[in-house]
Amino acid sequence: MTESGTGTTDGTGTSEGVAGDSANRDGTGGDLAVHLDGITKRFPGVVANDDVDLRVEQGTVHALLGENGAGKTTLMNVLYGLYEPEEGRVVVDGEERSFETPRDAIDAGIGMIHQHFMLVDPMTVAENIALGNEPTKWFGMAVDSDRIDAEIRDLCDRYGFDVDPTATVEELSVGFQQRVEILKTLYRGADVLILDEPTAVLTPQEVEGLYDVLEELTDRGKTIIFITHKLEEATHAADAITVLRDGESVGTVDPTTTSRTDLAERMVGREVILEAESEPVETGDVVLSTRDVTVEDARGVEVVSGIDLDVRAGEIVGIAGVDGNGQAELIEAITGLRTPETGTIRYEEQDVTEWPRRRRIESGMAYVPEDRHERGLVMPFDLVENGLLGSQRSPEFADDGRIDWEDVRDHTEELIETYDVRPPDADAAAHSFSGGNQQKFIVGREFERDPSLVVATHPTRGVDIGSTEFIHDRLLELRREGVAILLVSSKLDEVRSLSDRLAVIYEGEFIDVTDPDAVTEEDLGLLMAGHRPGADRADDGGDGTTGDLGGETR
């Protein structure tokens, strides 16, 4: 592992061996696949990378760990040819290189899998993988589809990927779409693969599958660099971890000789509480209630079946489940984005089943959506415009139908400061921010609406450890203020530590409702896989009521 002889470096390049030297060594005996030597990259008003030194051994998994905005993606964009550094040099396989475009990096054996996949959904796997690199036949008159299919099947066999080249991408799960992206880089001859937040949209089961893929790739000599802010990913999957903070390297460590606490402090620069502590509070009246709610998806298939749910003022009710088991459609019905087929939804003692989304917002229902791009932001809009979304008619920002943009700007800048959105530029377009900073802005906008109900779906997805701590604290603060909170998350530690009651959803039904303190992570995993509680768990509203979430808070 990198620097395993000492366990850490100070990020200043103190090791004498430099990639590009005749020996191409880092002092520990490993050949370097990549050496980024003293990289500095500036943007107007921001130093994104400041004299960063990164050494990556061949055939290893190297994690680039840091908060949102720490400079991780910028550094990898330099390696991938999207940015040219103002200072420093890029060395690949012992040869100093200058990449003006990603095409140059690809030709040098560098591939990048972005957080948001670059796939064309209606096209097949084979068409996506070969797009722009199609072999031809008949003197260039036609694409050689048989050759493409054969080469992709060979790659799948070589790396153990169970992917059908003829399948349409839109039919594949997110985990398989990620494998298509990896195959696309391998098809182009990549020896170094950069993965940007590779587990941000994966289920826990898909994450384990990704780890297997990384191991298979490195066993066959490939080198992996993955960008992450998740401590458990870095310590589980990496051979070496380099931590960035505020654009600077604060050291490279061996995951076998460090701790999550140490990594968190390196990332944030202070002590971090890694797990939220939820104190019991007295709950109030029922704020949200659903009875016998049935919802169909876009294909007309029933995906939510007879859900009963109560959420009281001053409590957090969590929903745990593998993505695709109806939780998304249930939340859309509650928030007004989808109309249920049967049943009623009551909010503050009013039947809101047929209410439009706008009316629910105006009545105090805040919503952090699952898909920040599709539901949370208008990507070409700047943050000021996005900060107004859902509040266009609020007296706080509009007088006689005319928007007071100065007030909106003041509000947006306060959100940016409070929720640590980086860079702190209210005039920047939403698409120019990293996924984690987009998420922090959405969370801030929704939490600060003065809501009586917060529906939070994956509120910390893509968010770094420091900001996760802040969001958890803010959720608990809202709970203490008497806000009702419905929390949906694929992070088991998150829903277990924050929730007062925890429902497990499987194939559109709550198969168990439990006290999160009384259930193990292993038990939750079994429930999420559809294993119903044993016969000793009565269905009568006792300890662990099945399919009924109308009980009192623990």
What number is the average pLDDT over the span 421-447?
A: 92
User: Residue 183's Cα: distance from chain center in Å?
Assistant: 21
pTM for the structure as a whole: 0.69
Q: Between 155 and 204, whose confidence is greater?
A: 155
Structure confidence by residue, pLDDT tens digits, 404-415: 999 999 999 999
Residue 288 vs residue 209, higher pLDDT: 288
pLDDT digits over 239-249, tens only? 999 999 999 99
pLDDT grade for 189, boundaries at 50, 70 and 90: very high
Distance CA 401, CA 404 (A): 9
3-class secondary structure, 37: strand
Asked whether the predicted pLDDT for residue 467 surpasses 70, the reply is yes
Element (H, E) at 480: helix 465-480
- The CA-based angle 170-175-180, given to 5 degrees, is 65
Which H or E run contains 407?
helix 405-418
The closest of 305, 366, 371 to 334, measured between CA atoms, is 366
| Residue that has been written with the tokens 């696949």 in this structure | 33
Cβ–Cβ < 8 Å for 161, 183? yes
DSSP 283-340: --SEEEEEEEEEEE-TTS-EEEEEEEEEEETT-EEEEE--TTSSHHHHHHHHHTSS--
> Does position 543 have pLDDT exceeding 60, yes or no?
no
Q: What pLDDT, in 10s, does the model give residues 32-58?
A: 999 999 999 998 888 999 999 999 999
Cα–Cα distance measured from residue 64 to residue 226, given in angstroms and rounded to the nearest whole number: 6
Backbone angles phi, psi at 53, to 5 degrees: -115, 125
Q: Name which of 514, 552, 508 is nearest 533 in CA terms.
A: 514
Domains and CATH numbers, the chain: 1-109+191-271 (3.40.50.300), 117-189 (no CATH), 283-364+451-458+482-554 (3.40.50.300), 366-449 (no CATH)
Q: Dump pLDDT digits (tens) for 363-393.
A: 999 999 988 988 999 999 999 999 999 999 8
Among the residue ranges 40-54, 158-172, 303-317, 407-421, the one predicted with the least confidence is: 158-172
